[in-house]
Amino acid sequence: MTKKKELGRGLRALLSNIEQTNNVAPKSEVVKELNSGLVVVKLEEIEVNPFQPRIEFDNEVLMELARSIKIHGLIQPITVRSMGGGKFQIISGERRVRASKMAGLKEVPAYVRVANDQEMLEMALIENIQRADLNAIEIAISYQRLMEECNLTHESLSERVGKNRSTVTNYVRLLKLPPDIQSSIKQNEISMGHARALAGVDDVAKQLHTFKQIKNDGWSVRQLENYLKAKAEPSITEKTSVEHSNNEIDRITKELNKILGQKITIKRDNKGKGHIQIPFNNDIEFNSIYDLFKEME
C-alpha cells in the first residue's frame, strides 16, 4: 500500500510503484497490456469516480480537448482502479475521459491501481487540488472533504498537499462566506485576494455590503484592504471625542481625590458605562467618606 506521506508529493509519487500494482490487474479482452506499467481500457468499461470533487466541467474547454484528442489521440493516460469483472473506476482523468468520448474514441491508455475507498478519496481529491484550473471554492471543498472524511488536521493536510498551513486555512474559511460571494468566486468575478479579505469580516451583512461595492466600483484587492482597514480604525472625530472624554475624566478624578482625601479610580468606556472605586483603610476613613456623602444630601 502506498504510504500516506507520499500523497503530498502529487500524483507522480502515487504512481511510483505502478509496475507492482499493475501485476494484480485482471487481464482479459477488455484490457490489452501495452507494457508493465500501462494498459488500454475500453471506455464503456470505465465508471466515474463517486469521490470526484469536481462537479462542473467547462463544455468549451472539453470541446477543445476533444478536438485535440481526435487529431493526436489521448497523450496523457488516465488512472483507474480495478473493480473486478472487467470494470474500472476513474481515480484521475474524468475530463480526459469525457473529451475522449466526445472525440469518438472507444478505448484509452490507463494506469491501473489497487486502492480502497479511503485511498481512492485521498488520491482523487489531491490529484484534483493540484490542477491549475480549479477555482478557489472547488479547492476549499476538496480541503474540507479531506479533513472531514480522512480525519486530517489542517497541519497534516498541509503536509499532504504541499501547502503552508495558513494557505489551507485561508481556503477553508471561504466556505463560511455567503452563497452569493461563493458563486462570484467560482465564476472568477472576484479573486482569491478579494475573497480572503471578505472572509476576515465578521458580520455577514457587512460582507455582502462590501461585496456589492467591490463589484459596482471594480475595487482591486489593495483598494478593498485599505477600505477594510479604514473601517476598522476609529475616525479622527471619534479619536478626538475619546481624548476629550479621557481628559475630562482625569480632571474629575483629581477633584474627587481632593474632596474625599482618597485616591479614587474612575473607569469608563466609550459608551459612557463604568464605575468609581473609593478605597479606605479602616472604619474611620469609611465613616469620613460616608459623612461627606451625607452632607451632600
Give dist(CA 291, CA 12) in Å, integer.
Answer: 87
Tell whether the model's pLDDT for residue 152 goes beyond 60. Answer: yes
Domain ranges within the chain, ordered by starting residue:
4-117, 245-295
Torsion sign over Cα 184, 187, 190, 193: positive
User: Where is 19: in which H helix or E strand?
Assistant: helix 18-22
Give dist(CA 95, CA 66) in Å, integer.
Answer: 10
| Contact call for residues 184 and 30 (beta carbons, < 8 A) | no
Protein fold of 4-117: 3.90.1530
Mean pLDDT over the full length of the chain: 76
Tell whether the model's pLDDT for residue 236 goes beyond 80. Answer: no
Rg from Cα positions in the chain: 32
| Contact call for residues 123 and 92 (beta carbons, < 8 A) | yes
Per the residue annotation, which of 19, 29, 47, 94 is the catalytic one?
A: 94
Burial class of residue 291 (count of CB atoms within 10 Å of its CB; 0-12, 13-18, 19+): exposed
Say if pTM beats, i.e. exceeds, 0.75.
Answer: no
**pLDDT tens per residue across span 261-271:** 777 788 777 66
Active site residue 127: no
Tell whether the model's pLDDT for residue 11 goes beyond 50. Answer: no
Q: Give Cα separations from 167 to 125, 164, 248 (angstroms).
A: 17, 5, 47
Query: Considering the chain, what percentage of its residues have pLDDT values greater than 70?
Result: 72
